[in-house]
Structure 1
Amino acid sequence: MNAGHTPGYPIKKIKEALCSAFTSKSELASMLENQFRINLEDVARGEDLNEIVDNLVLDFDGQKRLGKLIDKALNEKPDNDELKKLYYEKIKISSSLLTILFPLEDNIIKACCIALIILSSKGNNMV
C-alpha cells in the first residue's frame, strides 16, 4: 500500500524516470516551463537533482497530478524508456480499473430499477 500517494502510481519509479529523463536542474526547469508554465523554484527546491525531483513529485502527488506530470515529461522526452514504461503502466492500470468500473454502473442501474419496480408495485408514491 502506498499510504498518502495517488493510487496506482509507483512514486519511486516516477522519481527514477524523471531523473533519467532530466539529468540536470536546468533540463527539469525547462520541461516545467514548457509543459506547465511553472517555475521550478516555485514548486520544488533542493540541494541536488534527486532532492528537487523528490520535492517536485511530492508537490504533484499532493495535487493528484502525477499522471499529468508523467504525460508532460514524456511529451518533452518521448524517447526516454523509463518514462515510456511509466506511461504504459499507467494505461494498463487505467484499463484494469475500467474493466472493474463499467460492470458496476450496470449493476447500480439494475438495482435502482428493481427497487423502483418494487416500490411501485407496493403503491409507494415516491416514484
Structure 2
Amino acid sequence: MKSGRNFMLNLQSEFEEKLNTAKTNYLKSLNEKHTLLGILKDLMFKTDDLKDENLVNAFQEAYGYIHKLSGSSAMFGFSELGQTSNKLELLLKDFIKNDYSSDKEVICENFEILLNEIEKAIKKD
C-alpha cells in the first residue's frame, strides 16, 4: 500500500515540477511577447496607410500572437490576461475581416490594456 502511495506522491511531485518549469518558460515568453506586441502596436498605429503590406503583415502577426496568448494564459493561472487577450483577438479578427476599416482607436486602447495585463502577469510571479 505504501509503495502505491509513494508512487502517486512522486508522480504528483514530478507533475508539479514540470508545471512550474512550463510556467517559468511561459513567463519568459510573455516578456518577449510584450516587447514584440509593443513594437507591432507602435508600427500599426503610427502608420496612416492601413493597407500597407508591412502593416497588414504586422496585424496578422499580432493576431497570431494574441490568439495563442488567449488560449494559453488561463492554463497558467492568468485568467484576466486570457480575457483581455480574447477581447483584442476578436477585435483584430473583425478588423482584418473588414479589410482594416474598423475603429483603429478602439484597437489601440485594447492593445494598451493587453500590454498592461502582460506586465501584471510578469510582475505577479
TM-score, normalization: structure 2? 0.35
Determine which structure has the larger helix proportion and give its number: 2
Rg larger in structure? 1
TM-score, normalization: structure 1? 0.34
